[in-house]
Structure 1
Amino acid sequence: MSDFLLFSLLSFCFFCTSSSTTRHCVQNLQQGAHGFCVSSSNYSNIRLACKSTRFPWLCETSLSQTSLLPANPTSLDFIRSALSVSYDNLKTGQSMVKSILESSEGNLNRTTAATACVDILYYSDYRIRSTNDSLTRGKIKDARAWMSAALVYHYTCWNALKYVNDTKLIDETMAFLDELTRHTSNALSMIVAYDNYGKDISTWVPPKTERDGFYEKVSGGTELRSKGGVPSNMKPDVTVSKDGSGGDYKTVQEAVNAAPDNPESTRRFVIYIKEGVYEETVRVPFEKRNVVFLGDGMGKTIITGSLNVKMHGVSTITSATVGISGDGFMARGLTIRNTAGPDVHQAVAFRSDSDHSVLENCEFIGNQDTVFALSLRQFYNKCRIQGNVDFVFGNSASVFQDCEILVAPRQLNPEKGANNAIAALGRTDPAQSTGLVFQNCSIDGTNEYMRFYRSNPKVHRNYLGRPWKEFSRIVYINCVMEDIIHPDGWMPWDGDFALKTLFFGEFGNTGPGSDRSKRVAWSSEIPSQHVHTYSVQNFIQGDQWIPSSS
């Protein structure tokens, strides 16, 4: 039984009357805790605000206990109180994770998981604090993006601990993270309600999705695509040269290490990476903001690695050849690859949880899980992505514009065929502003793959995506789909999991693989009046942060 369910069963409400005002009191019987009271008017408003959440009882209970609500709270006061509850619980969760780490000396797997959790929950800490600041400045879309990311981090930590759950402390921490996730979900739901319905809390409702017939309002404009990208006039701060000639560093990581540590900085640190093959694992940490990689072109500047889950015992996140955590990352003119092969499970080439990241004219080569768009807002322009199993995945809000998406042979005996899914989206909550949007992309196979496909197309089945998590959202707009795409279009994950809650949408696609007449019933045609919901401007607010490419 979860802590929350136990709390629900052991709690009850009653009214008490004083000489001056009616108070609503809640008696918490769990572990002998004392009760608490709020005015009836405030409690009525709390109930109204909490109706917008997925976990209203938890919301009502937690907001009734907080001391932050003024006598006559505004809609933003309710949101800030919900954020405070989430943040206070996060601090407890961080403490519990640190205790796991301290007690795990000599246990490599547990230490690895706990260390990852410490980092991930720190990112969540930063995003929740930033959310509160953004509400003060009226930046509601930023608030939604950052709280969506906080949910990603809480789940990611929980999932890391799941595989090393061999102590009571870990079990208790996972249960606590479950409740933390619900608190964070409630805060996010209120933010979404405020954005969609305004200040009047009586109009707020729980988060809805496209499957409910709900489409986000658009902020104007009829242009789906962005004309921005990585600026062409940037001058390098440092140069990386494989042989050391005419460069400041021989490795990319050395150049990254030279970038200043300032997560609030607006200055770009530009690293020019000369033509060559750089065999290394590269990490741009959270503290290093606005780092830029400039290469000499796809296939010329190559960063390569081979870490994978099967052979090296690493996690999916840590298998990445290049992993980005610092916001504002940009890259142009290079190849990033993971050469682990098609039979070693997860082997990421590029992983990003960098908000406002822009990648242009870049190539990503791998097999399973090539591009891990983990969280936040990302823009890929004129890139080439190659793989076979869920090779574009994560839980970010990402737009892929004018990209070439290529299916590669999957196993050591590719002539036998396989089921391949291009995309998998891990959206766990309907309030999350996340999804994968492919615009004006081409969908085909590599030359090697097409040789096997043409010889026996019936055993090679390729799908646009599958639902990794319950509220998966993937859309294709104005893409050219070759005949390698199976007529069903979309692939289930496991039985009927998520088929009633996902949103897999298509609009204006062409090519022999775009025929919707035989598509699975749980996919959708995007109504023309709502297609601009998925524009770069509306879906990731790209008009506010993607710079002019000139």
Structure 2
Amino acid sequence: MSALLLFYLLSLVFSFTPSSSTRNPNFPVSSEIRLACKSTRYPRPCRASLSKSSLPPNPTSLDFVRSALTVTYDKLKTGQSMLKTVLTASRGDLNRTTAATNCINILYYSDYRIRSTNDSLSRGKIKDCRAWMSASLGYHFGCWSALKYVNTTKLIGKTMSFLDALTKHTSNALSMMVAYDNFGKDMAAWVPPKTERDGFYEKVTGGTELRSKGGVPSNLKVDVTVSKDGRGGNYKFVQEAVNAAPDNPESTRRFVIYIKEGVYEETVRVPFEKRNVVFLGDGIGKTIITGSLNVKMHGISTYNTATVGVLSDGFMAKGLTIRNTAGPDVHQAVAFRSDSDLSVVENCEFLGNQDTLYAHTLRQFYKKCRIQGNVDFVFGNSASMFQDCEILVAPLQLNPDQGSNNAIAALGRTDPAQSTGLVFQNCLINGTDEYMRYYRSNPKVHRNYLGRPWKEFSRIVFMNCVMEDLIHPDGWMPWDGDFALKTLFFGEFGNTGPGSDRSKRVAWSSEIPAQHIHTYSVQNFIQGDQWIPSSS
């Protein structure tokens, strides 16, 4: 089934509220609309759009959220149409065609997420709605960013301007959801989204366990087998096995692919419609999926360099290595990229240099994994948790005396309402054996930091981790001057080891108050208690 046909069928399945064009454009701005819109970052376009929207008589607070969502969806459909026009007009220009194609794809993903949000609002699944709308906001901003680099025509400039407005409306709808979730039905209590830097911590829903005991189930039944030599297997290539999975983004059945020991040199893509695909390998260093795509040599986007890229929800993987062998001098080269909501990855290894693991969007859980790289090698704009993992810095330069500045994590959160962040719990922060030889030979020229702010509202947390001495006393690295230093949240709690001393940390990092550590539990941060299965 093609992606276009799939989304057409989905559009028939999901109902949506009437178009915003059904209300008189001269409808006055009510006091209720003002109350609802004061919870947003962009109240003026919020008031203007809701005044023209399809609000019912005597609307409830949830009706205002739905109306803001309808405004966003209507504008998204217009944006999709504009991008198709851009694509048609870009024939013969590879860069513009690539940007337009990528935009069309991610706006389709947003289309699905917004429809799912509308369906789930009435069922009280507000945390799911916030996660999906956080992803949609990321997709809209990502499309605008992609066009920024090919903005050479009036048509693209006009489309970018429209996407900027769409991003603001998406932000407003998400902000209302956050206000509704945190402050309830009384819109008089609603305020714009705040962050930990404002002293605001999300409410917790109970439970004292920070970690999850779940993971990839051990009793999974294999559907197909991949064998490098073709013996005892259904396929020789991983992608062939993925292609055999059913096309159904609403399916609850897992499709389990056993990948036998071997080195599989291929680029693997798990499409959006192939839900609940599971990769089972023979162990780290035994089952290896490898590639070498990179930005510098191949002239492609960071997103497209991934050796393995996953778009479908419910993805799981266990017992394998995924690597990008492009090397340290070719800029971005992703080993694993995921947009999979409710994803569980356990006992896997990710090897690369710059941008090794791209946790792009949505909710992801990594357990007992090994992640290796140097520059921003865990990054994205997802809500991802890393539990009991090894985070290892690899050499950036071939000459140990040349020196390097490495940041482990970079989070692309552009809006304080997004429920995204990177949380590391009970992890070991160290260097590879090779890197540590470099570091010991000349520690003054090798600096390593926990993270840096890729975007304005970056959020990265390290809790109860062991940090070896390669971590610089500053702890955290700026991105560009004072960019984001007043809005980011870089939090630490309960860490140990010679690199954990907070006495010399930069002033713009934070110690998490003990009473708020459960904000970053698996249960509260990614709702993992509801979807991470028992590993037994």
Same-fold status (TM-score > 0.5): yes
Q: Is 1:387 paired with 2:370?
A: no
* C-alpha deviation, 1:134, in angstroms: 1.0
Does residue 61 (structure 1) correspond to residue 48 (structure 2)? The answer is yes
**2:170 is equivalent to residue 184 of structure 1:** yes
Aligned to 1:196: 182
Gaps of 5+ in 2: 1-22
2:392 aligned with 1:403: no
- The alpha carbon displacement at 1:321 in A equals 0.2
Question: By how many angstroms is 1:411 displaced?
Answer: 2.1
- Counterpart residue number, 2:88: 102
1:35: Cα distance to partner? 7.9
Q: Give yes or no for the alignment of 1:305 onto 2:291.
A: yes
Q: Which residue among 321, 326, 343 is the counterpart of 2:312? A: 326
The answer as to 2:26 corresponding to 1:37 is: yes
Q: 2: distance between equivalents of 1:464 and 1:435? A: 14
Show the counterpart of 1:23.
none
Pick the aligned partner of 1:511 from 497, 507, 531. Answer: 497
Task: Provide runs of 4+ in structure 1 moved above 4 Å.
Answer: none
Alignment match, 1:163: 149
SS at match of 1:512: coil
Stretch deviating more after TM superposition (410-419 or 193-202): 410-419
SS in 2 for 1:489: coil
Q: CA deviation at 1:483?
A: 0.1
Mapped to 2, the partners of 1:479 and 1:145 lie a distance apart of 26
Q: In the TM superposition, what whole-angstrom CA distance separates every residue of 1:215-262 from its partner, at most 9, and x where no partner exists? A: 000000010000000000101100000010000000000000000000
Q: Which residue of 2 aligns with 1:82?
A: 68
For 1:45, give the aligned amino acid: E
- How far apart, CA to CA, are the structure 2 residues paired with 1:155 and 1:487? 34
Match of 2:441 among 450, 455, 469: 455
Which one of the candidate residues 519, 525, 534 is aligned to 1:539?
525
Task: Write the distance in 2 (CA, Å) between the matches of 1:331 and 1:35.
Answer: 52
**Structure 1: distance between partners of 2:324 and 2:63:** 47
C-alpha displacement of 1:38: 2.9
Using the alignment, how far apart are the partners of 2:123 and 2:481 within structure 1?
Answer: 45
Query: What does residue range 99-498 of structure 1 map to in structure 2 within 5 Å?
Result: 99-498=85-484
Distance in 2, Cα, partners of 1:223 & 1:35: 52
Maintained 8 Å contact 2:213/2:534: yes
Indicate the residue corresponding to 2:34 in structure 1. Answer: 47
TM-score, structure 1 normalization = 0.93
2:472 match: secondary structure: coil
2:26 partner SS = strand
Correspondence for 1:9: none
SS at match of 2:448: strand
In structure 2, distance between residues paired with 1:400 and 1:471 = 20
Residue 38 of structure 1 aligns to a residue whose secondary structure is coil
Letter in 2 for 1:59: C
Distance 1:39 1:110, change over 3 A: closer
Structure number with bigger Rg: 1
Q: Secondary structure at the match of 1:416?
A: coil
Q: Distance in 2 between matches of 1:181 and 1:539?
A: 24
User: Match of 1:518, as an amino acid?
Assistant: K
Q: How many residues were matched structurally?
A: 514
Q: Counterpart amino acid of 1:336? A: I
Structure 1 residue 414: Cα displacement: 3.4
Q: CA deviation at 1:156?
A: 1.1
Mapped to 1, the partners of 2:130 and 2:319 lie a distance apart of: 32
Q: CA deviation at 1:462?
A: 0.1
Following the alignment from structure 2 to structure 1, what is the Cα–Cα distance between the partners of residues 317 and 463? Answer: 24
Q: Deviations over 1:432-469 (max 9, x none)?
A: 00000000000000000000100110110000000000
Distance in 1 between residues matched to 2:228 and 2:100, nearest whole Å:
35
Q: Deviations over 1:133-172 (max 9, x none)?
A: 1101100000000000001101111111111111111111
Task: Give the SS at the match of 2:440.
Answer: helix
Secondary structure at 2:274's aligned position in 1?
Answer: coil
**Cα-to-partner distance string for 1:54-90 (whole Å, 9 max, x where unaligned):** 0001100000011x21120000100000000000000
**Higher mean Cα deviation, 480-489 or 102-111?**
102-111
Superposed displacement of residue 426, structure 1: 0.2
CA distance in 2, matches of 1:35, 1:460: 63
Distance in 2 of aligned mates of 1:62 and 1:36: 9
> 2:28 touches 2:51 (CA, 8 Å); kept in 1?
no
Show structure 1 runs of 5+ residues with no match: 1-33
Give the distance between the partners of 1:39 and 1:176, measured in 2 at CA.
25
- SS class of match (2:86): helix
Q: TM-score, normalised by structure 2?
A: 0.95
Measured in 2, the distance between the counterparts of 1:35 and 1:287 equals: 39
Secondary structure of the structure 2 residue equivalent to 1:36: coil
For 2:289, what is the secondary structure of its paired residue? strand
Write the distance in 2 (CA, Å) between the matches of 1:398 and 1:461.
Answer: 25
Give me the whole-angstrom Cα distance separating, in 1, the residues matched to 2:246 and 2:88.
Answer: 30
User: After superposition, what is the alpha-carbon deviation per residue over 1:356-394, rounded to whole angstroms, capped at 9, x for unaligned?
Assistant: 000000000000000000000000000000000000000
Partner secondary structure for residue 27 of structure 2: strand
The amino acid that maps onto 1:256 is: V
Report the 3-state secondary structure (helix = DSSP H, G, I; strand = E; otherwise coil) of the residue aligned with 2:499. Answer: helix
Give the match for residue 27 of structure 1: none
Code of the aligned partner of 1:36:
P
In structure 2, distance between residues paired with 1:312 and 1:378: 29
Once the two structures are superposed, what CA deviation does each residue of 1:271-293 show, in whole Å capped at 9, x if it has no partner? Answer: 00000000000000000000000
Q: What amino acid is aligned across from residue 516 of structure 2 in structure 1?
A: H
Structure 2 CA distance for aligned equivalents of residues 436 and 532 of structure 1: 15
- Partners in 2 of 1:348 and 1:156 — Cα distance? 17
CA deviation vs aligned residue, 1:317-343 (integer Å, no higher than 9, x gap): 000000000000000000000000001
Kindly provide the amino acid, as one letter, of the partner of residue 37 in structure 1.
N
Secondary structure at the residue paired with 1:97?
Answer: helix
Deviation at 1:39, TM superposition (A): 5.4
* Cα displacement (A) at 1:36: 3.0
